[in-house]
Structure 1
Amino acid sequence: MTAKTRVMLIEDDIRASYTLESTINQDSRFEVVAVSETCTDALMQFQAFQPQLVFVDITLPDGNGLDIIRQLRDQDTDCHFIMTTAERETTTVEKAVQLGVIDYLVKPIRMSRISQALDDYARYKQKLVSASTVDQDDIDQLLRRSPVKTERRTPKGIDSTTLEALKKLLYNEKLHNFSAEDIGEKMNFSRVTARRYLEYLESEGILRLVLNYNTGGRPRRLYQMIE
């Protein structure tokens, strides 16, 4: 059995961290072994867990994610880095590229984009271990000069046909402030299944989650379409 790739998250945004961890752990090729919210803790945990792939936010409470990468590069660590950030300035992107990051995910992070990044990394590593030498075409693909077009896939537990049927329902009926129970009844599946699909659509930026506190108890999770 092939060992899973060890992944570390350096992220102080709880929502982004949850999306990353849940999506990565759904992929049988990867496993999140450490999660840090600060630069100081990240450097300690990196030494303890020796991850092979690290998702790094740029803005952290006690420093800059780019500085973490720079420090670890200076230590000649055998690891790859993917940025996760709301930073869109070209100068920031350029600095990340100069440090050798293999991908750059802009917040809010979509689950499908995380899956794509994992696929790209796995394909990159497989190409390197499958042959002792590479030709120009192989190098171009590794450096993404000739990107290989792959079919986008949904995460584990999300069926593409069911997802399209749900999206069609939402757009056709123009639903507003609906719950997982509402969708479960309309789609004829359980509340847990409905919630999984709704959370996926929320992560894709199609829905927004709204908590209704007028319940006299625990807030009710409602969803709205994003125009």
Structure 2
Amino acid sequence: MKNKTRVMILEDDVRASYTLESTVNHHGKFQVVAVSETCAEAIEQFKLYTPDLVFVDITLPDGNGLNVIKKLRELSDSCHFIMTTAVRETTVVEKAVQLGVIDYLVKPIRMSRVNQALDDYLKSIETFRNNATVDQAGIDSLLGKNPTTQTRRTPKGIDTATLERLRDRINELRLTEFSAEEVGQIMDFSRITARRYLEYLESEGTLKLELDYNTGGRPRRVYKML
């Protein structure tokens, strides 16, 4: 665990906790040192393990994750926090931002999104540690601002015309719930390509991803229109 970033997880959902723990440990530069299911347990483990980064759920059996962050900040002002929650209300997101959380992950959480959050954390920490000062571009990058010269509307791997065609087909067929496999058949995509476009639509708030565990085996990923 030498030189690895110490991570603590506060999550009462066993499946979500396991997914987070396995993803973080698989990254290579992070190590989960503690997993808590309650606010009280989290405070005690925080004192014991002094993590660098904490994943915090909002809805917990004995309290609210936002209040836990306030208490943990009193114990350490150098720790960073990432929210992991199904709560989407803008008032809650605003409070989280005011508390200084560095990321906000909406459940069900994708492993790729967790890895992105971890990479962003490492990038920011490296900038803080290796530079005495930072220019405007560096500050914009740390704050997640897009450069003014950026003209690309969609990320690499997402073609704008294809994306619009997918939107049109969903509206035309009046689809409200579907899988990547079903979209792949409709659009003549591979399952992987369909999932990439659906994950993009989810990230911009058009779709919601849910896991169907009533399959008798591996959970089925279902996308629903918002």
- TM exceeds 0.5? yes
Partner of residue 226 from structure 1, selected from 204, 211, 222? 222
String of CA shifts for 1:89-117, please: whole Å, max 9, x gaps: 11100000000000000111111110110
67-76 or 22-31: which moved more? 67-76
Identity, % of aligned positions: 56
1:96 aligns with 96
List per-residue Cα deviations over 1:150-198 (Å, max 9, x = no partner). Answer: 979xxxxxxxxxxxxxx879956xxxxxxxxxxxxxxxxxxxxxxxxxx
**Structure 2 vs 1, CA of residues 75 and 225 (structure 1 numbering), >3 Å: closer, same or farther?**
closer
Residues 1:26 and 2:26 are matched in the alignment: yes
* TM-score computed with the length of structure 2 as normaliser: 0.68
- Which residue of structure 1 aligns with residue 161 of structure 2? none
- The Cα of 1:210 is off from its aligned counterpart by 3.6
How many Å separate the matches in 2 of 1:171 and 1:26? 30
User: Residue type matched to 2:140 in 1?
Assistant: D
Q: Is the 2:47–2:75 contact (alpha carbons within 8 Å) kept by the matching residues of 1?
A: no
| Alpha-carbon distance between aligned partners in 2 of 1:47 and 1:33, rounded to the nearest angstrom | 12
Task: Give the drift of 1:2.
Answer: 6.4
How much has 1:128 moved relative to structure 2? 1.2
Runs of 4+ displaced beyond 3 Å: 147-152, 167-172, 204-212, 222-227
Q: Secondary structure of the equivalent of 2:27?
A: coil
| Cα drift, residue 129 of structure 1 | 1.5
1:67: how far off? Answer: 0.5
CA distance in 1, matches of 2:73, 2:128: 20
Distance 2:55 2:108 in 1: 14
Aligned to 2:42: 42
Q: Relative CO higher for 1 or 2, CA cutoff 8 Å, sep ≥ 6?
A: 1
Please say if residues 110 and 205 of structure 1, whose CA atoms lie closer than 8 Å, have aligned partners that are also in contact. Answer: no
User: 1:52-109: per-residue Cα shift (whole Å, max 9, x none)?
Assistant: 0000000110001000111122334310000001111111000000000000001111
- Decide whether aligned partners of structure 1 residues 170 and 2 sit closer, same or farther in structure 2, where only a CA change above 3 A counts: farther
Stretches of structure 2 lacking an aligned partner (at least 5 in a row): 158-179, 186-207
State how far apart, in whole Å, the 2-side matches of 1:129 and 1:114 are: 23
Could you say if the C-alpha distance between residues 223 and 69 of structure 1 is closer, same or farther in structure 2, counting changes exceeding 3 Å?
Answer: closer
> Closer, same or farther in 2 for the Cα pair 1:62/1:119, shift >3 Å?
same
The superposition leaves residues 111-146 of structure 1 with CA deviations (integer Å, 9 ceiling, x where unpaired) of 111011011101111111121111111111111123
Could you say what secondary structure the match of 1:126 adopts? helix
Amino acid aligned to 2:125: K
Quote the Cα distance in structure 2 between the aligned partners of 1:141 and 1:226: 33
Asked if structure 1 preserves the Cα contact closer than 8 Å seen for 2:211 and 2:219, the reply is yes
- In the superposition, relative to structure 1, how do residues 24 and 116 fare at CA in structure 2: closer, same or farther (>3 Å)? same
Once residues 58 and 211 of structure 2 are traced to their aligned partners in structure 1, the CA distance between those partners, rounded to angstroms, is: 26
Q: CA RMSD in A?
A: 2.9
Letter in 2 for 1:93: V
1:8-67: CA deviations, max 9, x gaps? Answer: 000001111011001111000000000000000000000000000000000110001000
Structure 2 CA distance for aligned equivalents of residues 55 and 223 of structure 1: 24
Change (3 A) 1:91 1:31: same
TM-score by structure 1 length?
Answer: 0.68
Alignment partner, residue 85 of structure 1? 85
CA distance in 2, matches of 1:63, 1:77: 21
Q: Secondary structure at the match of 1:7?
A: strand
What CA distance in whole angstroms lies between the structure 2 residues aligned with 1:19 and 1:107? Answer: 11
